[in-house]
Chain A
Amino acid sequence: MKTLPKILIIAAAVGVFGYGVGEFFSMNPPLMAGAMAGLTLLYGILLTKQHRPPKEQGFFKNIATKIPVVTVIAVILWFGAGYFGFPVWWQIEFVSFSVIGMIFFIILDLKTMKPEKSAGDSLLRLTVTYALPSALFITITAQLPQFDPEYELAKLNRPPVKLSGLAGPEVIAAGREIFESNKCFNCHKVFWEGNSDRGPNLGTKQIGLYSEDYIKEQILDPRKKQSPGFEDKKSKKAMPTYYGEDLSEDELSALVSYLKTMRDPTHIPVEGKFPDQWTWWDDKQVLEEGKIVFEGKEPATEGLNCAVCHGADGIPMMTGAFDFRNPDNMDTTKMADHRPIKLKDWPDDLYYRRVTRGVDATPMAPWGMLFPHLYLWKAEAYARTFHDPLDKRTEKKPVPPIPTKEEIERWKTEGLFLDPLL
């Protein structure tokens, strides 16, 4: 243990280096430093340990000594992975690798092989040497998940997208196919569906709220404006810039038609890169834009002025107009779908429903039939600040869970969208 101080100094130096590496590659510097320093320390201790010649064991004795250890590791891995939320297939994978590790260590501790006695011995061993990896690789490739080549063939044999002669739902379906074939799902999720969170989830962001021109611009010139939360260097370069060359006019139109369907009538849009996300309720810029809409100053919603009735400062200008300053105000009773909920507890969909469908027999018109919903959500986000100002909030509104396939089906069957196509 005389060398321990030396080892500690080296481990500390490696730790500092690890911290630098973590910092440089944005890979959790403290964890990196700790892991590297810890490993160096372990290596140091093991190197200075009193060493004995290795114990070699026969095959069966080898297995007998290792199985209990591996069983314990496998059990820990199984339950540990389950605890952290790994699906069962990953639990099986981890346990399988513990068994592979056992085989690895069995080989290391195996008794020295006896030399070949005859050419027959050599031939047999040689054949086994070739047969072993062959069987291993064939088994692995046969047992891993497979795809059906016929499915790809059927896709390849489909005619190219031509919009002429297609009706609305067919155009949307064609657009989805283009979205899929251009591998957009690789970086963009659409609600529950998709591969990763490299780019915004176009479903929860509700890209369908935006204008066709804006969506087209985002496809053709993605570097022009980054989605909030995706301003980092890597994200800025992530979206390819060649879709203008690759997609025909018809394909682009179909793609935009599909993207326009991406809206959620039950939740306000979500921004940011997973896991650092936020809703529009807490988005300062959205609230500023919402104020403009609310006060009737937004050119895109000319004719819409919430402040006329609800007041620019939240004090209602008209009798019966909903007072957004009082958090305990209840939902209107004039509607058949009335919900006895206080304003402070209103779910997103109630805001959306009241604004887009209006309130019967009042000047609150179904604004959703008249103006782009993008602006209506912004105005709603701003209206909330009258009883719940942004600067007084101690925490952000929780990001809602991603809608499931069943929920999206329900929106359609319950007619939550105003658009008959959806």
Chain B
Amino acid sequence: MPPSNVSEQKSFSFKLILLALLVYGLAHLSPALPWASPSSFLNGLGPQTALAQEDEEDEEDEEDEEDEEDGEGEADEAEGEEGEESAEGEAAAEEEDTSYLTDIGPAKEIINEGYIFPGLGNRKATWGAAQLHILFASFILGCPMFVVIMEVMGARRTQGVRKAVILANVFMGVLTGVIIGIIGEIIVDIHHGVLYGLWACAFAALIVSFLNYFHICMNTKVSSIVGAVVGTFFAYILVPIDHTTVPAIILALLNGAVGGFLSTAIMFAQADYKFERLAHEITKVIGFCYSFTALTGGLFLFIMMVAYKDFISYLVTAYPILFMIGYPTLFILETIVLYIYVYSWEPLNKTNKKGRHIVLGVVLNILGLSLLCALDGPATFMQTPPKPYDALFTTMTEWDRIATMTWMPLNYHRLVGNGTFGGFMVGVISAYMYLWSKDPKEKEYYDWVGYMGNFIGVLFMIPLPAMGYIFVREIYQYDATIGMYIMSDRESMFMLVQGLLIGTMFTASNIYMWVSMKRIENAHRFFPAMKLGFILIVIAATIWFTPRRFFATMLPEPGMNPDMVLPDNLAFLALMVSKNTAAFALVTVTLINYIFYTISTRTGKIAWGKINPLGPYILIFMGFTDIWLMSWMGTIRELSRMNWHIYKVFKDVTPEKFAPSLAESGVFVTGVVWTFFIVMTLIIWLGIKYPKTKKDKTEEAPAAAPQMAE
């Protein structure tokens, strides 16, 4: 098409959009125009009779009133004037039988008998379906985060890509700022730390990326300074606080510097096709997982509708807008964008529109996160419904029921948790593909993928304890009884298992680094220092595990040994101070080892594809442990509501209202995780390995065509 035609067409489209906006604006923003009444406009779209009935109750001067309401209205008027007429009116109203309007027919006589899910029981059936749904959902939320990072790293920096990187950087700035901000809020107790982090990092990323686009501020050091200044300036303006403290300013400066630094580093990163290939391969798996998310979500909902029908209908009706409009809209949009993202990969690469594809990826992530936040509303409502309870459906709005005390903490926790999940799942995929590949080049590539998966997984795992901490802190503030049920009562042993699992995760991650470093030239110079770190890890894990008492409840119950309690002078070992110190030590040692690992990769030659064969199995072990831990924490969160579906609002009166024992839960969670991994193994084979095998048989071709030159 000639350029002039293109510009004419663009101009016409633009005018058309402008006209549509104008009409829309007139219809909605000009109440003075009689024809533009939104209600009359909407009435034409919906069931008019029903709307008319409701309107009559409010507007007395409506002409077409129903007979019944006529009668009532007249009777009211007559009451004050003539007694006889009033009596007649009342009698007429009494005589008239309007039950036909509400009679639902024979169904009202039929009482459905409860059904118990064979073999498992209703609770476990619901538990299993919900857990599987969350695991697949985490995959389709966590992996796109990973994929976009990889896609950006793999895209050649064309004009279009650089435009898209501005958006990607801002998105990255928001996420990074929130994470660092929360840590500042928790550790240094900075009021509104999250907001300082968010605004500073996001604006630093925006401004620096924008300057970078015009080839200004290309040095990372300068960008950090510019980011720090600009970010702090915006944070200072936007955070609603009377007095800004020094720690808050330092936090803003730090976030701004990080935002500026990362933006420039990403904007001018050397593109590597390996990243592109990795992102594309993972995307194929995401497509499969999306179907399984929907499938398990449906299963979960159907089981709930049979097993807990009263509760699910109460919960859904508590969120009419969310469940009728918000959730379906987001879900449909995400489906559309996801499939466009998956299937437009190669076409957009071929037409040199990589930037648009990256934008799609960011939009997909934004939609996914919105979906996550939307559904966290009902999830946290079940745990911490806003008080006072008698105002839940009177003065409180649907938004109040979404934005509960633990809503944002759970959003943060799941956001970071999904990042970890994404990283470790990529690790699992890489391990499978490494084991299934025979070609040395393929092995090299998947060895590198494992390295990247572990890198992202560990990177997100480091702030994860802080996110968990802020979530539990809010629970304590809402109702300490729930917190105590988790930390000191029936779930205390569950938490002990959590400590053990986290210790195992960090240990496995460090072993993977150790094993990986053995194939790097000259890396063994770090080994003696790393061994010191490993000793610290064992000590930290021991402290994290040390309980106040070795019985499973707050006070010993019949059959328990009451002497299994730490004496008072040693009790400090079981307190949060010690646990936090242990967590800090675990995180710090892992970080130090990672620094050693990174220095080794930069200063020594890496023999990709020559990793100790133990490496891929460690990656699978870590993936399994991470997902087991995630399922375990979900179990803890659900059980912490005790015998309530919605804490103190909707009681669970079924026979399964008690907390299952630790042993029973352990076996069940293992079963759920096995199911997930069996399905995932099939998906990885179907999504990545099988097409490759087919392709290998026909001809050698790369999985995704490299991006064309501009």
Residue positions of A touching B, CB distance < 8 A:
24-25, 27, 39, 42-43, 46-47, 49, 51-54, 84-87, 89-90, 93-94, 97, 100-101, 104-105, 107-108, 110, 112-116, 122, 125-126, 129-130, 132-134, 136-138, 140-142, 144-153, 156, 180, 182-183, 185-186, 193-197, 240, 242, 245-246, 274-275
The residues of B that contact A43 with a CB separation of less than 8 Å are 529, 532, 592
Contacts of B568 in A (CB 8 A): 197, 274-275
Nearest B-chain residue to A56, judged by Cβ: B518
CB contacts (< 8 Å) of B550 on chain A: these are: 89, 145
8 example contacts (A-B, Cβ-Cβ < 8 A) are as follows A39-B536, A43-B532, A85-B569, A97-B542, A141-B666, A142-B662, A149-B658, A149-B660
**Which of A42, A85, A137, A183 sits near B567, CB closer than 8 Å?**
A85
With a cutoff of 8 Å between Cβ atoms, the chain A residues found around residue B514 in the complex are 108
A287 to chain B, nearest CB (A): 27
Q: In the complex, A156→B507 CA distance in Å?
A: 40
- B528 adjacent to chain A (CB < 8 Å): yes
Contact of B663 with A146 in the complex, beta carbons under 8 Å: yes
Q: Which residues of A contact B531 (CB under 8 A)?
A: 46, 105, 108
Q: Is the CB of A84 within 8 A of B570?
A: yes
- Out of B436, B527, B553, B581, name the residue touching A27 (CB < 8 Å): B581
In addition to A47-B529, A145-B550, A275-B569, 8 A-B residue pairs with Cβ atoms within 8 Å of each other are A47-B525, A51-B527, A122-B436, A138-B666, A152-B490, A185-B555, A196-B488, A197-B571
A15 to chain B, nearest CB (A): 15
> Which residues on the B side are within 8 Å of A194 (C-beta)?
555
Chain B residues with Cβ below 8 Å from A193 are 555
List of B residues within 8 angstroms of A240 by Cβ:
479-481
Q: Is B545 in the interface zone, CB < 8 Å from A?
A: yes
Q: Is the CB of B577 within 8 A of A27?
A: yes
Closest to B567 in A: A85
Residues of B within 8 A of A46 (CB): 528-529, 531-532
| B557, A151: Cβ atoms closer than 8 Å | yes
Complex CA–CA separation, A104 to B538 (angstroms): 9
Q: Across the interface, name the chain A residue whose C-beta is closest to B529.
A: A46
| B15 sits at the interface (CB 8 A) | no
Task: Name the contact of B534 in the complex, choosing from A47, A105, A112, A115 (C-beta under 8 A).
Answer: A105
In the complex, which range does the number of interface residues on chain B fall in?
A: 35 or more
A147 to B557 CA separation, bound complex (whole angstroms): 8
Q: A115 to chain B: which residues have CB within 8 Å? A: 613
| Contact residues, B493-522 vs A (CB, 8 A) | 493, 496-497, 500-501, 504, 507, 511, 514, 518
Smallest CB–CB gap between A217 and chain B, Å?
Answer: 19
Distance in Å: Cβ of B605 to nearest Cβ of chain A: 15
User: Which of B177-185, B227-235, B621-629 is the contact stretch?
Assistant: B621-629
A87-B565 contact in complex given A114-B613, A185-B555, A245-B387, C-beta closer than 8 Å: yes
Known: A85-B569, A245-B388. A134 touches B529 (CB 8 A): no
Which residues of chain A are near B398, meaning CB under 8 Å?
none
Contact in complex: A112, B559 (CB < 8 Å):
no
Q: Which of A100, A132, A182, A242 has the most CB of B within 10 A?
A: A100
User: Which of these, B534, B552, B628, B643, contacts A146 with CB under 8 Å?
Assistant: B552
Known: A54-B518, A87-B564. A185 touches B554 (CB 8 A): yes
Q: Is the CB of A113 within 8 A of B612?
A: yes
Determine how close the nearest CB of chain A comes to the CB of B573; give it in whole angstroms: 9
Q: Find the B residue at minimum CB distance from A149.
A: B658
Which residues of B, 666-697, contact A by the 8 Å Cβ criterion? 666-667, 669-670, 673-674, 677
Q: Which residue of A lies closest to B681 (CB)?
A: A126
Please state if A47 and B666 are interface contacts (CB–CB under 8 Å).
no
Main secondary structure of the interface of B (DSSP, over half): helix
Partner of A183, one of B484, B529, B581, B670: B484
Q: Which chain A residues border B620 with CB–CB below 8 Å?
A: 126, 129-130
Greatest chain A CB density within 10 A among B524, B560, B564, B670 is at: B670
Chain A residues whose CB sits within 8 angstroms of the CB of B537 once the complex forms: 104
When chains A and B are docked, how far (Å) is the Cα of A279 from the Cα of B150? 65
User: B interface vs A, CB < 8 Å?
Assistant: 188, 387-388, 435-436, 479-481, 484-485, 487-490, 493, 496-497, 500-501, 504, 507, 511, 514, 518, 524-529, 531-532, 534-538, 541-542, 545-546, 548-555, 557-560, 563-571, 575, 577, 581, 592, 612-614, 617, 620-621, 624-625, 628, 643, 648, 657-663, 665-667, 669-670, 673-674, 677
Q: How far is the CA of A338 from the CA of B528 in the complex (A)?
A: 72
Rounded to whole Å, the gap between the CB of A70 and the closest CB of chain B is 11
Does the CB pair B525–A51 fall under 8 Å? yes
B658 A137 Cβ-Cβ under 8 A:
no
Which single residue of chain A is at the shortest CB-CB distance from B526? A47
B571: contacting residue among A27, A107, A153, A196, CB under 8 A: A196
Of all A-B residue pairs in the complex, the 10 with the closest CB atoms, nearest first, are: A141-B666, A183-B484, A101-B538, A46-B529, A147-B552, A97-B542, A186-B484, A142-B663, A46-B528, A113-B613
State A52–B440 Cα separation when bound (angstroms): 29
B387→A142 contact, CB < 8 A: no
Using A27-B581, A129-B620, A129-B621 as known contacts, say yes or no to A145 and B659 having CB atoms under 8 A apart.
no
Known A27-B581, A133-B624, A133-B628; judge A53-B524 contact (CB<8 A): yes
Contact A108 B511 (CB under 8 A): yes
Distance A138 CA – B670 CA, assembled complex (angstroms): 7
Of B504, B525, B541, chain A has the most CB atoms within 10 Å of the CB of: B525
Cα A210 to Cα B495 in complex, Å, equals: 37
| Bound CA–CA A44/B489 (angstroms) | 44
Query: What is the CB-to-nearest-CB distance from A34 to chain B, in angstroms, rounded to a whole number?
Result: 14
Residues of B within 8 A of A107 (CB): 511, 614
- Contact between A142 and B666, CB atoms less than 8 A apart: yes
Our pick among B493, B553, B566 for the contact of A86 (Cβ within 8 Å) is B566
Chain B residues near A195 (CB-CB < 8 A): 488, 548-549, 554-555
State whether B496 touches A144 (Cβ < 8 A): yes
Would A97 and B541 be within 8 Å (CB), given that A126-B435, A142-B666 are in contact? yes
Indicate which residue in B511, B535, B560, B614 contacts A145 across the interface (CB closer than 8 Å).
B560
A132:B643 contact, CB within 8 angstroms:
no
Q: Are A183 and B481 closer than 8 Å at their CB atoms?
A: yes
Asked if B658 contacts A152 (CB within 8 A), the reply is yes
Q: In the complex, what distance in Å separates the CA atom of A203 from the CA atom of B614? A: 57
